[in-house]
Amino acid sequence: MAFESKRNDVSKFTAGAWVPMFGAEFKIARAGNPDYEQALEESGYRKAETPEEKQKALLKAVAKGILKDWRDVLAEGQPIECTTENAVAVLEENPDLLNRIIAEANDLTHYRREDIKRQAKKPQTTSGS
Q: What is the pTM of this model?
A: 0.83
Backbone angles phi, psi at 99, to 5 degrees: -60, -40
Backbone angles phi, psi at 28, to 5 degrees: -115, 125
Q: What 3-state DSSP class applies to 59? A: helix
Q: What is the pLDDT of residue 116?
A: 64
pLDDT in tens, 65-92: 999 999 999 999 999 999 999 999 999 9
In the predicted structure, residue 4 carries a pLDDT above the cut 80 = no
Q: What is the pLDDT of residue 122?
A: 54
Domain boundaries, the chain: 31-121
pLDDT in tens, 27-66: 999 999 999 999 999 999 999 999 999 999 999 999 999 9
CA 20 to mean position of chain CA atoms: 11
Residue closest to 75 by CA, chosen among 57, 89, 59:
89
